[in-house]
Amino acid sequence: MSVELDVFVGNTTIMDKEVYQLWLNGYTVNDAVKVRIEGGVMEECEASAEVLLSDTMDQYRTFQMCERLLHHPAKLANQLLFQIPPDRQAMLIERYYAFDDSFVREVLGKKLSKGTKKDLDDVSTKTGITLKSCRRQFDNFKRVFKVVEELKGPLVENIRQHFLLPDQLARDYAAIVFFANNRFETGKKKLHYLTFQDFAFCAGQLINNWTLGAVDNIMEDMDVDLDKEFLQELKDLKILITDKDLLDQHKSLVCTALRGKTNVFNEMEANFKNLSRGLVNIAAKLINAKDVRDFFIDLVEKFIEPFSLCLLYMGVIKSCILRMYHD
Amino acid sequence: MPGKLKAKIVAGRHLPVMDRASDLTDAFVEVKFGNTTFKTDVYPKSLNPQWNSEWFKFEVDDEDLQDEPLQITVLDHDTYSANDAIGKVYIDIDPLLCSEAATVISGWLPIYDTIHGIRGEINVLVKVDLFNDLNRFRQSSCGVKFFCTTSIPRCYRAIMVHGFVEELVVNEDPEYQWIDRIRTPRASNEARQRLIFLMSGELQRKIGLKVLEMGGNAVVGYLQCFDLEGESGLVVRAIGTACTLEKISSTLPATATHPSNSSPSKDMKDSPQAAPSTLGCRSTHSSPVHSASSRLSQGFSVSVPTLLFAGMGSGGSAGKEGGPLKALLRQQTQSALEQREYPFFTLAAFPPGFLLHVGGVVSARSVKLLDRIHNPDEPETRDAWWEEIRQEIKSHAKALGCHAVVGYSESTSICEEVCILSASGTAAILSSRFMQDGPLDTEHRFEEVVSPGCGFCHIPYDELNIPFPAQLTYCYCCRRYKVPDVLFTTIDLPTEANVTGKGCLIQARLCRTKKKAQGEGNATVISNLLPFLEYELHTQLMNKLKLRGMNALFGLRIQISVGETMLLGLASATGVYLTALPSPGGIQIAGKTPSDITYEQHISNMQKKINDTIAKNKELYEINPPEVVEEIIGSPIPEPRQRSRLFRSQSESSDEVSELDLSHGKKDAFVLEIDDTDAVEDIHALLTDSPTPAGFYSCNTEIMPGIQNWTSAIQMFTSVRVFRLNANLTNQGLNKIFSDLCENLLKSLYFKLRSMVPCCLCHLNFTVAIPEDELIQVAVTAVAMSFDKEQLLENGKQSGEKTLIKAITENDEQLQFNLELNAETSAPNPLSSPKGLSEVGSHLSARASSVDYSSFADRCSSWIEQLKLKAHTIRRGSVKTTSSMEKASPLPEGRSRSLRSNRSYSGSSVAVVKMTPLSFIPGAKIIKYLGIINMFFIRETTSLREEGGVSGFLHTFIAEVFAMVRAHVAALGGNAVVSYSMKECVFMENPNKNQAQCLINVSGDAVMFVRESELESTSVQTQSATTHTSNGAEGT
């Protein structure tokens, strides 16, 4: 004696946010039912475990049917199969493309290839995120990457338009794509203390200032690649160390800007020459792809570690450098 | 050359990849109508082709226009091999043939393939130019409007109700033709889909012809069904009610008085019966017959199923001849209506004043053996079968003293070569007002009797010759006429009915094992079982009704399904407490052997449980009927719908001069004897029905009594379950499983829809089937509608009182005779009775001068004579009339209501299309009917596991069917489907072969609606529907 077939189809597709999240998290139907029972939905609604199981299976099936549409979110809005109110559609997309920070830290900067995908079970055991969820997140990265890779125009905007993501999520994806494209090394032990949001911020700065799109603001340019010309010219920064006058001028400008704003000001002032050299050396090497990958590790090893300075400082330096460059 | 059909193929999108090498498709389109085919150019290498074709023109007879669908096939061009079909779209052009419906079909329609499902969409434009054809021998019936809705559609007014129309066509089922052995499943499915399209087109055309012949212009309550008889063929049959409808003009004065526009209370708008309020006469009273009061289900008029074998002629029908009817008049009435072949009406809700008395449920079944239909053009056997059944129904109605049957429907259940034909309806007495000429109408108004919300309950039969044992009492509303103790009907609850408390869904479920047998033996076994099945279902219904403290059932639908080794019976209805009927006694349990003390204790425990449940239910459903006659408060009576005159005929009252007959007095309790395990089981079953969770109500009728403040949030859904049984189950075991299956399904629905609380599941329509041995399939379609709790309270208390006062004061002002009459009758219902009575008073003088109807007989006979005169002229139809109607009197000022949820889904590129099995959309006004939707789809798979197993397969298919219905409605320019139903869902699987097949038939009325909130703001300027639509389409 068993239920052989059990379906429920609403004219407006019914989707429970909680079950959707469980599905996204890669729970099996049975695990999801357990979680729901623990959540107390049964008492709330006078339901039985049987009812919960039926509902969960049904919802899972609906999500599976929707999944192929979620791969092309624009299709979700003009498909006819499911009648889903726009606010729900937005929720479905946003949650489908949401990712775990702990997961993204593991794959950030890695090539989004089959090889990486094969290693996802290790990532899964390490992070405690189900393999299923890891795969979804990885596939999302890869899908977004593939679509925007060849697209012209601003990266964040492209992602937002093609995947109908909210602004913040689109920016995060831009960072992921940017990191994957430039293969920045982020997995070294020394970089472990940095969160995804730290990197995403940096990526945002780099995209805005160091890519082709940033410099020329011409639509044909692309945001994914660093501006080679710019990197080439960074070599010229060596003059900041070699030329005494410029070094002093640089120092005084930085010191004026930072005076009273950091409690390590004195140390900074004392070591300015070394600090500056570290930075300029990193900048000068960026023309090599290998060194681009090591950009962050170099910053940590050659700049932050020796002087234990905070990231705020680095930002200021950067803006100073940029300022001077433009001058 | 009466018509020119024009089609243009604009574009395609989301096409599947047909060429693996390029990941693209070279698509082109074939457009076929009849035997003519056109092709578009190939649009190479695209999944979103832009054909932008010329207009393809087909010059065809309008007969073909009605029969044939426009067939659009999308193909992938292949230079070296045969072109691959991507999928098809069938377009029913019927809506374009009627001037009042849609004018163009334009939009994105899903491309459907019976193996792959929906594969992209195609954008088409279809138009029809019709030329006038004055040929009187024409075979077409263009222009006759069809409605699935079982009430007079909103925005129409009934001028006349002509009566019953039926037709059936038969054909060989392509699936069973020899050629099926050599063709692909796809070809076979497509042949079937196309054939059914053609057959339903033909059927509709033929019915249309009958309607024209009767002088009507529309069919309301159109019910079309398929009988898949397998080897012996395919039958498509339809029944409906022919009417002459008139569109209510959208000019301001008219709309202002129309209840569905400016009515004072939402309840009216939302009520399914907000038919044009033609005033002038109110219905007379009606009597309720009740169905079997106690044990024998006679009131129920169960026809002992007559066993008939095909070709053997008809056996005697078991309809009791009604007993000697005392009053001659009855017979006269009867004979007049017998002028009609069948005085049947598929309507379940009526224009005010049409339904006078209700007798009770009449039903008939017969078991037939199918044989091959030899000549499809002469479907005589099938016709004859239905004729027998209808005659039987007619005679049952007669036995109940009724001349008509309303809420009529027919169904079949087929298993191998055995077929059960069933018909059921509600015996009733109808007013003549929609069946006569105008002048007569005016005259008749004076004899009409007031029905202060209780009239329809009054018995139509002669109390001295009750066709079955019944407990009669005086009406608890008017105290003047007799009413039965229980009333069963198949119709919707009349809006004007006085109801106490709320209603609820009541189901009786039964499963009986049966021996395997063949041919005649099998038919005999089945027909022997049927009466017991019906009897037990009836007893269960009765018990459950009493357990809920209610006294009437509406929307009763009994479905009996045959399988090889079992019979399933499912009866669903909505229980209510009619204020006019006596309070039901409790249920008393009596043990047979009162010797044993523990046994007695057991019984008293059970008794206590039952009493507790009844008490709890009464509280739950707010059933607290007024105990004292004079008591005013207590019953949340619907606000008076008619302000206008209500008439009461004296003739009626003479009828009941009758001595106080209290001998039949109210029976205290319904006694259940526990003498065997069966009875114990029954009681257990009774008590195990779990109550609906807090915040939920359920019913299978159009509206739930006691709930009026619907918000615009509605959710239509279909749920299907198939349950596999173990072999060798006992009847009790089977019963329990079946009952649990239904209960669990309901519980799941409540859980799924919990976010809509407080909400009511309306029009819960259960369908059971036995697809194979040991499988039970239950399908449910219903709509969940949210309502506003606060407003509910407010309405129930404050506004109820307000209107009450208002009503009384108005009465006082208008009517001089009020007080006297009131005193005389001491009506328990303050809202309607005093008013009604006083109205009588005001017209007494007028009536006296015209005619003195001293008896009911006179009234009827005169009416009959008039009828007869007219009836001779037209064969089947009734008399054509253009009755002059008074406008509804202005209703109390509308209270503006803020719609709770009026989320706007703007931004979505796909228009929202609402679907509902009801005839209305809460908070909205239907401004246009665009045509009937009647679609049939087959889906098959040979990769069941890959598609997610049976559940995945069916889930996708149902979602696809919804999508196609929505797309076609949107293409017609509509934004909703009302009266939607899934009439067929045949699912077959063969997991071993990884295969499954499913057939689904759905129907409904495509409509365009406007939100009331928008209407209010724009009503002054807008007459143009177009502006409304765009608004309506966006808002939801």
Query: Cα–Cα distance between B85 and B48 in angstroms, integer?
Result: 16
Closest Cα partner for B963 from B942, B929, B987, B935?
Answer: B935
Q: Are residues A258 and A280 in the same domain?
A: yes
Confidence (pLDDT) at B250: 55
Tell me if B403 sits within 8 A of B430, measured CB to CB. yes
Check if the beta carbon of residue B170 is closer than 8 Å to that of residue B233: yes
The pLDDT tens digits for B599-637 are 777 778 888 888 888 888 888 888 877 654 433 333 333
Cα–Cα distance measured from residue B906 to residue B571, given in angstroms and rounded to the nearest whole number: 43
From B699, B364, B765, select the one nearest B552 (Cα to Cα): B699
Q: Which domain holds residue A169?
A: 101-210
What is the per-residue burial (b if ≥16 Cβ within 10 Å, else e) of B378-403?
ebebbeebbebbbbbbbbbbbbbbbb
* Pair (A107, A198) in one structural domain: yes
B706: tokens are 């006691």
| Cα end-to-end span (Å), chain B | 43
Examine the fold and report which residue of A47, A77, A97 is the final residue of a domain before the chain moves on: A97
Residues contacting residue B257 through CB under 8 Å, at least 6 positions apart: B277, B887, B888, B889, B890, B891
- Tell me whether residue A215 is in a domain: no
pLDDT in tens, B302-334: 333 333 322 222 222 333 333 333 333 344 444
Within a domain: residue A193? yes
Q: Please indicate, yes or no, whether residues A203 and A293 belong to a single structural domain of this protein.
A: no
Is the predicted pLDDT of residue A60 greater than 70, yes or no?
yes
Using a pLDDT cut of 70, give the percent of chain B over it: 66
Beta pairing class for B3-13 and B117-130: antiparallel
Contacts of B914 in chain A (CB under 8 A): 11
Look up tokens 């007013």; give the residue: B431
Whether the bond into B153 is cis, omega within 30 of 0: no
Supply the pLDDT for residue B909.
Answer: 67
Rounded to whole angstroms, the Cα distance separating A70 from B670 reads 59
Same domain, A206 and A187: yes
**CA dihedral of B952, B954, B955, B958, whole degrees rounded to 10:** 160
Q: Is residue A282 part of a domain?
A: yes
Residue B444 pLDDT class (50, 70, 90 cuts): very low
Distance in angstroms (rounded) separating the CA atoms of residues B132 and B143: 11
- A203 shares a domain with A106: yes
Which residues does residue B698 pair with via DSSP β-bridges, in sequence order?
B761
- pLDDT value, residue B61: 80
| Counted domains in chain A | 3
Express each pLDDT in B649-689 by its tens digit.
323 333 332 222 333 333 344 566 555 556 666 666 666 67
Q: State whether B955 and A4 contact (CB < 8 Å).
A: no
- Look at residue A23 and tell me whether its pLDDT is greater than 90: yes
Q: Note the pLDDT tens digit of each residue in B483-501.
A: 888 889 999 988 888 888 8
**Lowest mean pLDDT, pick from A20-29, B24-33, B264-273, B285-294:** B285-294
Question: CB distance B751–A51 less than 8 Å?
Answer: yes
CB B212 within 8 A of CB B185: no
Do A109 and A205 have their domain in common?
yes
Torsion of CA A49, A50, A53, A59, to 10 degrees: -120
- Taking Cα atoms as reference points, which of B81, B241, B232, B83 lies closest to residue B162? B241
* pLDDT at res. B340: 65
| Position A9 in a domain | no
In angstroms, the separation between the Cα of residue A229 and the nearest Cα of chain B is 38
pLDDT reported for residue B474: 84
Report if residue A250 sits inside a domain: yes
- Whether A221 is covered by a domain: the verdict is no
State how far Cα B74 lies from the chain centre: 37
**Secondary structure of B385-411 in the HEC alphabet?**
HHHHHHHHHHHHHHHCCCCEEEEEEEE
Whether residue A116 sits in one domain with residue A187? yes
Q: Does A164 share its domain with A89? A: no
- Closest by alpha carbon to B84, among B73, B92, B68, B94? B73
For B562-608, the DSSP string reads E-SSEEEEEEEEEEEEETTSPPPPEEEEEES-TT-HHHHHHHHHHHH
Task: Tell me whether residues A45 and B748 touch, CB distance under 8 A.
Answer: no
Q: pLDDT digit string (tens) for B374-403?
A: 666 666 778 888 998 999 998 888 888 888
**Whole-angstrom distance, CA of residue B968 vs CA of residue B951:** 26
**Closest to B506 measured CA to CA, from B447, B546, B462:** B546
Does A302 lie in the same domain as A236? yes
Last residue of a domain, one of A56, A77, A97: A97
User: Is A263 found in the same domain as A201?
Assistant: no
Residues B683-738: pLDDT tens digits?
A: 666 666 777 888 899 999 988 887 888 888 899 999 999 998 877 778 888 888 89
Which of B775, B912, B959 has its CB closest to that of A4?
B775
Total number of residues shown for chain B: 1036
Higher pLDDT, B927 or A233: B927
What residues contact A119, with CB distance under 8 A and at least 6 apart? Answer: none
| CA–CA gap between residue B62 and residue B94 (Å, rounded) | 10
Partner residues linked to B219 by β-bridges:
B146, B242
Strands (E), A74-160: none
Residue A113 is assigned to a structural domain of this protein? yes
Mention every residue, 6+ apart, whose C-beta is less than 8 A from residue B513: B565, B566, B729, B730, B731, B734
Closest residue, chain A, to B744 (C-alpha): A51
Instruction: Give pLDDT, residue B788.
Output: 84
Rounded to the nearest integer, the mean pLDDT of chain A is 81
A217 is a domain residue: no
**C-alpha to C-alpha distance for A53 and A58, rounded to whole angstroms:** 8
Q: DSSP state, B798?
A: I
Q: Residue B158 burial by CB count (10 A; 0-12/13-18/19+): exposed, middle or buried?
A: buried
Whether B488 contacts B573, CB under 8 Å: yes
Residue A240 shares a structural domain with residue A298: yes
Least confident of A41-45, B32-36, B515-519: A41-45
pLDDT for B675: 56
CB contact (8 A) between residue B751 and residue A52: yes
What's the whole-number mean pLDDT along residues B67-90?
Answer: 90
Residues A278 and A181 in one domain: no
Please tell me the pTM assigned to this model: 0.79
A40 touching B (Cβ < 8 Å): no
Minimum Cα–Cα distance from A3: chain B residue: B723
Q: Are B345 and B404 in contact (CB under 8 A)?
A: yes
Per-residue model confidence (pLDDT) at position B310? 26
Least confident interval from A45-49, B401-405, B973-977: A45-49
Average pLDDT, chain B: 72
Q: Is the pLDDT of residue B571 over 90?
A: yes
Question: Strand B482-484 relative to strand B472-474: parallel, antiparallel, unpaired?
Answer: antiparallel
Q: Render pLDDT for B749-792 as a digit per residue (tens, 0 to 9).
A: 999 998 888 899 999 999 999 988 889 999 999 999 998 876 54
Q: Do B959 and A9 touch (CB under 8 A)?
A: yes
Asked if B194 contacts B69 with a C-beta cutoff of 8 angstroms, the reply is: yes
Domain end marker among A68, A97, A126: A97
Please say whether the beta carbons of B703 and B271 come within 8 A.
yes
pLDDT for residue B936 is more than 90: yes
Are the beta carbons of B344 and B164 closer than 8 angstroms?
A: yes
Tell which of B15, B109, B688, B721 to mutate to test the A interface (max A CBs under 10 Å). Answer: B721
Q: What is the predicted pLDDT for the residue at B339? A: 57
* B250-278 confidence digits (pLDDT tens): 543 333 333 333 333 333 333 333 233 22
User: Considering only CB atoms, which chain A residues are within 8 Å of B121?
Assistant: 80
Which of A5, A42, A92 should we substitute to test contact with B (largest number of B Cβ atoms within 10 Å)? A5
pLDDT of amino acid A213: 59
Across the interface, do B721 and A5 touch by the CB < 8 Å criterion? yes
Residue-wise pLDDT for B830-867, tens only, equals 333 333 333 333 333 333 333 333 333 333 333 344 33
DSSP state, residue A71: T
Instruction: Confirm or reject contact between A55 and chain B (CB < 8 A).
Output: yes
- Of B256, B181, B495, residue with least CA distance to B352: B495
Residue A295: its pLDDT value, please?
75
Tell which residue, A277, A287, A272, A271, has the closest CA to residue A242: A277
Question: Rounded to whole angstroms, what are the CA distances from B845 to A165, A267, B858?
Answer: 77, 114, 19
Q: What is the DSSP letter of A302?
A: I
Confidence of residue B138 (pLDDT cuts 50, 70, 90): low
Does position B406 have pLDDT exceeding 70, yes or no? yes
State pLDDT tens for residues A184-200: 877 777 777 778 888 88
Do the beta carbons of residue B561 and residue B567 sit within 8 Å? yes
- Among the residue ranges B35-49, B366-380, B394-408, B533-547, the one predicted with the least confidence is B366-380
pLDDT on residue B796: 42
Task: Give pLDDT, residue B56.
Answer: 94
